[in-house]
Amino acid sequence: MTKIATSVAPAEKIEAPMCVNIVRLQDYLLPPDEVVLFDWLLVKQCYVFHHKSFYYSQRRVEKETRIGRRRFETIVQKFKEQGWLWSEVAPSGTRRSAVRRYLVFYDAIARILPKLVRYDTGTYALYKSYLAKMLQKSKAVGAKSTDRLPADVETEIIALKDRLQATYESRVKLHNEAVASGQTRGNKRVVDQLPFRESFQGYLRKLIEKYPVDTIRHAFLVYCDQVLKEQLRPESFMGYFLHYNAVTDEFP
């Protein structure tokens, strides 16, 4: 008996028009709306603004990400405290239509990646490779935020913190001696450890990129003396000194 050959048509490949890769989403350690904003920031800086800081209105962000303003501000603050995002609202327009400036630090994301993506996943390995490539591309276009190697920047920030702490301690000591001898009116001050919060990392980085270290130290010395003499009374000692104005591109 002759067998009749039959052909089986290959199964049709159907492409699902899904917006989110649910499988890859499980690799993130962030809530879904934080993942959306995380990806949005990378896409904008990498592919739209070519590795440079960029301005975007609050209204457009809400429209593109579907994240409400209050939740958006909470997420941005969290990313800033993690040290990989610098952002500030330009002082113009209504609050809803306010324009904000953004700058993403690829090397900082790479350092805290285990807090964002599960270490034992393929997504983690892909991101490590991706961030390394983005860092190289940003150097190629001359972005100020990546002129130095990540290790060099980190070392410079640590050294700057030490110099500012030493300067602060020396000015407090001189102030206390002047008060004790009657040369200066006022109260003695206790030497404290300067509060270098994680959210200050981006500002310290930008300070180093903008000014020579000796210039920074001299400005900080003058600032310490003004505070000790109560010529300035900032609510946040380091917050005031590190406040950056995105419109004028200047520190105080």
Task: Judge whether 192 lies within some domain.
Answer: yes
* Overall domain count for the chain: 2
The predicted model scores a pTM of 0.54
| Rounded (5°) CA angle 161-162-166 | 115
Q: List the chain pLDDT tens, one digit each, 252 residues.
A: 555 555 555 667 777 677 778 889 999 999 999 999 999 999 999 999 888 888 888 889 999 999 999 999 999 999 988 888 888 776 544 444 578 888 888 888 998 999 999 999 999 999 999 999 998 888 777 544 444 444 456 777 877 888 898 899 999 999 999 988 888 887 889 888 888 887 787 888 888 877 877 788 889 999 999 999 889 998 888 888 988 655 555 676
Residues 76, 109 share a domain: yes
Distance CA 56, CA 240 (A): 25
Same domain for 122 and 26:
yes
Per-residue H/E/C for 143-162: CHHHCCCHHHHHHHHHHHHH
Residue 12 counted as domain residue: no
What's 111's domain CATH number? 1.10.10
Q: Does 4 reside within a domain?
A: no
Residue pLDDT, tens place only, 205-229: 888 877 877 788 889 999 999 999 8
Same-domain check for residues 67 and 29: yes
Same domain for 36 and 98, yes or no, is: yes
Q: Which domain holds residue 197?
A: 150-241
Residue 37 neighbours by CB distance under 10 Å: 20
Tell whether 26 and 133 lie within a shared domain. yes
Unique residue bearing structure tokens 């409400």: 68
**Three-state SS at 7:** coil
**Domain check: are 121 and 191 in the same one?**
no
